[in-house]
Amino acid sequence: MSQEDKLGQIVILNGNPRAGKSSIASAIQNMFEGVWMNVGGSQFKKMTPEHYQPGISLRPGGERPELEPLIVILYEAMYEAIAAHSRLGLNVVVDVWHHDAYSIPRGILPSCARILSGLPVLFVGVRCPLEVVMQRRIATWNSGYEEDGSVPKPVRLWQQAVHMPGIYDLEVDTSVLSSEECAALVRQRLEEEPPPSAFQRLEVQSRNFYSLQKRGKQMLQVDKPGQIIILNGTPRSGKSSIATVIQNTFEGVWMNMGVDRFMQMTPERYRPGIGLRPGGERPDLEPLIVTLYQAMYEAIAAHSRLGLNVVVDVGHHDAYSISRGILSSCARILSGLPVLFVAVRCPLEVVMQRRIATWNSGYEEDGSVPKPVRLWQQAVHMLGIYDLEVDTSVLSSEECAVLIRQCLEEESPPSAFQSLETMT
């Protein structure tokens, strides 16, 4: 079940909000053969700190010029992640809202095309008439027309800007075609000759905008890579709460690229993906899980190299049907980058209290702890090589974040991941 025999196919669905892109992406994930990861704009928007929102979904109009240089970097990071998935043999479907109606032209789309140079890309324009978009906005968000009956300016701007310059391999209209019919047309175009070429044509345009892209990086400290913090622990140990505090309180841009985000990108039939619990219950999934972890860590590395800080909440273990050595392989992917590896510990009785409070999922009928919970507790800290350990039963998320900050400020740099690199 090798995922790396050939490059994964990339399908990029470009259109305005409520055009129907995400429904087509779901249809592709469900209908097409192979593993199709949904590495779309919505997922990366969720990774972005609240104070830098709306991130890459910033609407046309030039309303937030102070954010625009960062948005250039966020798009570049997302496309580097897409490229990493494809090079690992994973197919990728992307729903996105490309436009260039910023305060000044940013040339993001041509620059993204350059990142995917040499990879198989189908670029699809997802169109939908304005009146249908408005119907969907009302049905979904109860957000309709202005008091005078006009279409809101942001909606009009989206409709005007998102399909410029209009270079596509395929165009679909979701007002007359269902998501499944659109997906069938996408499949048909992938099977046709000549192969798609829109991104190759857009790549040529990137030469005109390359200097703009470089200037955009001045917003970030890019003379050194972004800091990476990996929070490793069991479910309900408190990792995601610490990650949120780090995003909200640490200086700079901190992207949250944890296991939950990447699980959401994974097709339903391959879940829980990298969230697979210890016990060796799904040996059929394990080779894919190795590849999915590689892809996630390649995406983390890409963000760091672009100067973006990354916080990762994950549950590493090696209790599969056979040893997979995933953590050591991931450490090698991050070789040369600044990584702080943090153990997030929590006693079993507190984990159980949290499971009951969150999921109403508690003890077995005989009063024992469920086997999967016990296995997580035993397996997740098996190697025990960390730069820092915190216990969320005695420390708040804020107190844990303070200890992490102090560790980063110490003179001797973290070294746990360097030690893990050498293990097989």
In the chain, the number of structural domains is 2
> Cα–Cα distance between 240 and 313 in angstroms, integer?
6
Q: Does 397 share its domain with 259?
A: yes
**Mean of pLDDT values over 66-78:** 97
> Cα–Cα distance between 252 and 408 in angstroms, integer?
14
Residue 402 is predicted with a pLDDT of: 99
pLDDT in tens, 257-299: 989 999 999 999 999 999 999 999 999 999 999 999 999 999 9
Other C-beta atoms within 10 Å of 358: how many?
10
Given a contact cutoff of 8 angstroms between Cβ atoms, the answer to whether 377 and 351 are in contact is yes
Does a structural domain hold residue 380? Answer: yes
> Cα–Cα distance between 298 and 37 in angstroms, integer?
15
Residue 423 is predicted with a pLDDT of: 86
Does a structural domain hold residue 2? Answer: no
Q: Does 122 share its domain with 173?
A: yes
Does a structural domain hold residue 387? Answer: yes
Does a structural domain hold residue 4? Answer: no
Q: Does 294 share its domain with 208?
A: no
Structure tokens belonging to residue 61: 């109009």
Average of per-residue pLDDT values in the chain: 94
Does a structural domain hold residue 381? Answer: yes
Length of the chain: 424
Examine the fold and report which residue of 189, 218, 247 is the final residue of a domain before the chain moves on: 218
**Mean of pLDDT values over 324-331:** 98
List Cα–Cα distances, 139 to 136, 143, 219, in angstroms: 5, 8, 39
Per the DSSP assignment, residues forming a β-bridge with 38 are 93
Q: Does 175 share its domain with 305?
A: no
Q: Does 142 share its domain with 234?
A: no
Examine the fold and report which residue of 167, 195, 218 is the final residue of a domain before the chain moves on: 218
Q: Does 37 share its domain with 148?
A: yes
In three state form, how does the secondary structure of 297-346 look? HHHHHHHHHCCCEEEEEECCCCCCCCCCCHHHHHHHHCCCCCEEEEEEEC
- Nearest Cα residue to 67 out of 103, 39, 100: 103
Does a structural domain hold residue 106? Answer: yes
> Can you give the residue range of the structural domain that contains 355?
228-421
Q: Does 281 share its domain with 214?
A: no
pLDDT in tens, 186-223: 999 999 999 999 999 998 876 655 544 444 444 444 68
- Nearest Cα residue to 239 out of 275, 290, 266, 214: 275
Instruction: Give the residue, 24 or 362, on which the prediction is more confident.
Output: 24
Q: Does 186 share its domain with 235?
A: no
**Mean of pLDDT values over 293-319:** 98
Residues of the chain with pLDDT > 90: what percent?
A: 88
> Cα–Cα distance between 223 and 345 in angstroms, integer?
34
pLDDT in tens, 140-196: 888 889 989 999 999 999 999 999 999 999 999 999 999 999 999 999 999 999 999
Report the CATH number at residue 311.
3.40.50.300
Residue 4 is predicted with a pLDDT of: 53
Does a structural domain hold residue 5? Answer: no
What confidence category does residue 39 fall into, taking pLDDT thresholds of 50, 70 and 90?
A: very high
Does a structural domain hold residue 3? Answer: no
Q: Does 265 share its domain with 406?
A: yes
Q: Flag whether pLDDT at 1 surpasses 60.
A: no
pLDDT in tens, 53-64: 999 999 999 999
Examine the fold and report which residue of 196, 218, 240 is the final residue of a domain before the chain moves on: 218
Largest CA-CA distance found in the chain, in angstroms, rounded: 69
> Cα–Cα distance between 336 and 333 in angstroms, integer?
9
Q: Does 193 share its domain with 266?
A: no
Q: Which is it for the CA torsion 299, 304, 309, 312, positive or negative?
A: positive
Residue 205 is predicted with a pLDDT of: 73
Residue 306 is predicted with a pLDDT of: 97
Q: Does 252 share its domain with 204?
A: no
What confidence category does residue 138 fall into, taking pLDDT thresholds of 50, 70 and 90?
A: very high
pLDDT in tens, 330-351: 999 999 999 999 999 999 999 9
Q: Does 214 share its domain with 327?
A: no
Given a contact cutoff of 8 angstroms between Cβ atoms, the answer to whether 43 and 264 are in contact is yes
Residue 207 is predicted with a pLDDT of: 63
